[in-house]
Structure 1
Amino acid sequence: MSKATGKTTPTNMRGGAVILRSISIFLTSGRSARALNQQAVKTKVKKMSDKDSKNKISVRLLEAAKRDTHFSRSEIEGLYKVYRKLISMNRPKTNQEKGAASSSIMGKPTTVHEGVDKVVFRELLHSSFDIVTEDMMMDRIFCVWDKANAGLIIPEAWFCGLSIFLRGTLAEQTDFCFSVYDLNADGYITKDEMFQLLRNSLIKQPQDEDPDEGVKDLIEIVLRKLDKDKDGKISLEDYRQSVLEEPLLLEAFGRCLPNERARDTFITTMKM
């Protein structure tokens, strides 16, 4: 405002507008910064919440595991955390694998989005349960654990499989081993299946004219021991009766259960 006239000059008006604009920008930037900080905090909290929710077992799954396994609540919660860690180790899937459902001789395929894949499962058998065996046996163990035929070990299968491995009764482990050896899941272990299971169990000598003859001889010995009804194949009932009479026959056709030392070590780790 001019002292002489008492009127506001254009220069003063422009100066005031600049100041007001600067104050407005300052206030706006302050609000924006606060909003960004708040959003960042919310995002961080959400990520932490999502992570915690993934690692926390649902009530439904917990109750099912308590009902169907030999584990306590705290053991189930600990095993679920191990399960979540194993999932993070899965190998990246190709686009074709992501869009395809798994198929198997054990039933219709089930499409699932998350679980322990075969590569990680095989490493678990080797490193944690000291099961070192042929690829076919590894695949059969995976298939029997994967009761849902999902191509992945889902939580329910994880708990049930570990229950048999770590706390299973002789009856439960007998049925498990039989399922592993029953390659086409028809309820019998036939001579052809025995041949596939046993052909790598004998040390072949260079002078042997027909190495497979030794396997065939072994099959006849096994049949005389396990084939209770003498029908030329081994049924589940044959197998159960034989194992009851001689528990050492439990893994007659190959290693598919952890030994006592591996079980004790895993259980100790599970309780930590």
Structure 2
Amino acid sequence: MEKMYEKVLESVDYIKNQTEYKPRIGIILGSGLGGLVDTMEGKEYIDYKDIPNFPQSTVKGHNGRLVIGRVGGVEVLAMQGRFHYFEGYTMKEVTYPVYVMKLLGIEKLIITNSCGGINTTFEPGTLMLINNFINLVSDNPLIGYNDERFGPRFPDMTEPYKIYLMDKAKEVAKTIGIDYKEGVYAGFMGPYYETSAEIKMIAGNGADAVGMSTVPETIAANYLGLDVLGISCITNMATGIQKVKHSHERVVETANKASVKFCNWIENIIPEII
């Protein structure tokens, strides 16, 4: 891992040679939420497989490419496809793109996901502004050798999702009439949907939603000094709350249906936070 900085620089150099854009806002798109790319202007695509040292997406609903362009006149870099611990990647590999974004000049990161609702005031299609997280995986991307060129050995997590970014998102939602909830996201390892007993435990720990991503990227982004905004799309209610069995196809279908509202919110947030 001592060579990670050099590997990240190789990835960064390749990306810089493919585009003239210099985005300062990054976006990680969750399952079924890639529709934001359709609204981007002047799009340029870079496949993950072509980027040196970059992992590859293996989950349905994740296209596996970077998309660079403009949203509301603002240059952005979007990950259309993310990586998960359950795919067999290490936490360093899961969060590798966040390190790349940092050295590319990204300053603010919008992290999105599709997840299960625990809070019973939620329903499939609800958008949730993430105000905090719980890490339920006994691993994280900061374990091991620390390169001070990236960040400090012991980063602070007092404000993992920046309050000023949440305030901007709330203002935008009110202006354009977007309904949303706010809550705590719990990161579960997967790749199975949680048992009803696990959901009771997670709910008792204060979580409003549960999913298999986002937490590692949030940890890495804070470590790297990026300001983070998190938004979840509740695509199903958690086991024991929802009466039907879970399926990834239904998750993607629900996310696609909520995508118009989700994309409208993100499109209007971006010009307000540059």
Question: TM-score over 0.5 for the alignment?
Answer: no
Of the two, which has the highest radius of gyration? Answer: 1
Range into which the TM-score falls when normalised by the shorter chain: under 0.3
- Indicate the structure with greater helix content: 1
Higher relative contact order (CA 8 A, sep 6+): 2
TM-score when normalising by structure 2: 0.27
